[in-house]
Chain A
Amino acid sequence: MKVYEKVVLISKNYLGPATESFIARQCKSHLKKDPGALMTADMANLAKWMEISGGLLMDQAKAAELSRKIAAITV
């Protein structure tokens, strides 16, 4: 399973139908790369932005939880 697919799978529980668009926006705006090109090395950075941007959309505690899960992706 690709890294991007894992990120989507985890994020679906928090972002629902907005998952793919949300991840794409974080990747393009903050990581300056295509979502399909995500690597495990990007996870720490992505997790940080997921918490910041996600906090605008959902409960801060939930955003932090999602961020922890994204940061834990290793493969």
Chain B
Amino acid sequence: MNATIRNKLIWGFSGVLLLLGAVAGIGIYAVFSLRQSAQDATRIGGRLNATALEIQVHNLEAERRVKSYLREVKQLGADKAREKYLDEADFELSAIESLALKAAKIAPTAEKREKFQKIVNETATYKIAMAAAVTNAENEEAADTAKAYFSAADRLHDYAEDGEAAGREASQTSQEDIDRTSKSSVSMAIGMSLVGMILGITMSYKLSRAILLPVEHLKDVAENVSLGNLEVAVRRYSDDEIGDLADSFSRMVTAVKFFRMEAETVQAEHDSAGGE
């Protein structure tokens, strides 16, 4: 491809348009990345919510087993009742602790982490209260220790409910963020890109015309003059450097025309003098 002004302009403006396209692409990519992050946050919120529900189920199951133990310990005897109910209750407590620890690790904010950490801490209190209730199940302190145990179980349940709410809130907030960010950012990125592209194309067209039209006209005039045709009008298209160039060219053509006329006149005079 020749390095003409037209080609240079085409390449230059194509580059600008390409750049605009790249900027738009980066913008859209950023929006979609943001959307992806928000979706991840929603998933985490959902997981926290499910974990908190699971903790509640384990808590209810542990409570049911401890209740059964306290009710039947006198009939079955401590060892058998422990084997039948408390081993499972211990397992439920371990599950609660493990789930709460995992949730605290993935929770997106300090506030939400704290809610799940409270469950972990409460599990320790719960274990102590349960051990006291089991130990005193057959003596005069049974009622008090059982009451303390059920209070601990209720607290654990409340904390798990708080965790559930925190997970739900994280999920909903992220979903709202996704919708809001997607709607505004995508339309803004597309709108800005379109405006940029329309401006780029319009400017490219106007600038190419502003440069190419007078240059091509001057090229035509120069070609005509070089072939001996001096009857060409040199037009000044614009009040800029190309306009000045057109004026210079016009002066040159006028002078060449005049000198040629002079030469023709002198020749005619010479011919007529020779004829006489």
* A interface, CB within 8 angstroms of B: 13-18, 21-22, 25, 56-59, 62
- Flag if B247 contacts A57 (CB, 8 Å): no
- Flag if B233 contacts A16 (CB, 8 Å): no
> Interface centre among A18, A25, A56, by most B CB within 10 Å?
A18
- Flag if B255 contacts A17 (CB, 8 Å): yes
- Flag if B258 contacts A14 (CB, 8 Å): no
- Flag if B258 contacts A18 (CB, 8 Å): yes
> Interface centre among A14, A22, A57, by most B CB within 10 Å?
A57
- Flag if B233 contacts A15 (CB, 8 Å): no
Determine the main DSSP class of A at the interface with B.
helix
Closest to B249 in A: A16
- Flag if B258 contacts A59 (CB, 8 Å): no
Q: List 29 A-B contacts (CB under 8 A).
A: A13-B251, A14-B251, A14-B254, A15-B251, A15-B254, A15-B255, A15-B258, A16-B248, A16-B252, A16-B254, A17-B251, A17-B252, A17-B255, A18-B255, A18-B258, A21-B258, A21-B262, A22-B258, A56-B257, A56-B261, A57-B254, A57-B258, A57-B261, A58-B250, A58-B254, A59-B233, A59-B234, A59-B250, A62-B250
B91 within 8 A of A: no
> What is the bound-complex CA distance between A17 and B234, given in angstroms?
17
Nearest CB on A from B139, distance (A): 123
B259 within 8 A of A: yes
> What is the bound-complex CA distance between A18 and B262, given in angstroms?
10
Nearest CB on B from A28, distance (A): 12
* B interface, CB within 8 angstroms of A: 233-234, 247-248, 250-252, 254-255, 257-259, 261-262
> Interface centre among B233, B234, B254, B255, by most A CB within 10 Å?
B254
> What is the bound-complex CA distance between A62 and B236, given in angstroms?
11
Q: Which residues of A contact B262 (CB under 8 A)?
A: 21, 25
Q: Which residues of B contact A21 (CB under 8 A)?
A: 258-259, 262
> What is the bound-complex CA distance between A47 and B259, given in angstroms?
21
Nearest CB on B from A55, distance (A): 11
Nearest CB on A from B82, distance (A): 117
- Flag if A16 contacts B251 (CB, 8 Å): yes
> What is the bound-complex CA distance between A21 and B255, given in angstroms?
10
Q: Which residues of B contact A56 (CB under 8 A)?
A: 257, 261
Closest to B265 in A: A25
Q: Which residues of A contact B251 (CB under 8 A)?
A: 13-17
> What is the bound-complex CA distance between A26 and B3, given in angstroms?
47
Q: Which residues of B contact A58 (CB under 8 A)?
A: 250, 254
Q: Which residues of B contact A62 (CB under 8 A)?
A: 250
Closest to A12 in B: B251
- Flag if B257 contacts A57 (CB, 8 Å): yes
Q: Which residues of B contact A16 (CB under 8 A)?
A: 248, 251-252, 254-255
Q: Which residues of A contact B259 (CB under 8 A)?
A: 18, 21
Closest to A19 in B: B255
> What is the bound-complex CA distance between A16 and B253, given in angstroms?
9
Nearest CB on B from A63, distance (A): 10
> Interface centre among A14, A16, A17, by most B CB within 10 Å?
A16
Known A15-B251, A16-B252; further 9 A-B contacts with Cβ < 8 A: A13-B247, A14-B251, A16-B248, A16-B254, A18-B259, A21-B258, A21-B262, A56-B257, A57-B257
> What is the bound-complex CA distance between A17 and B255, given in angstroms?
6
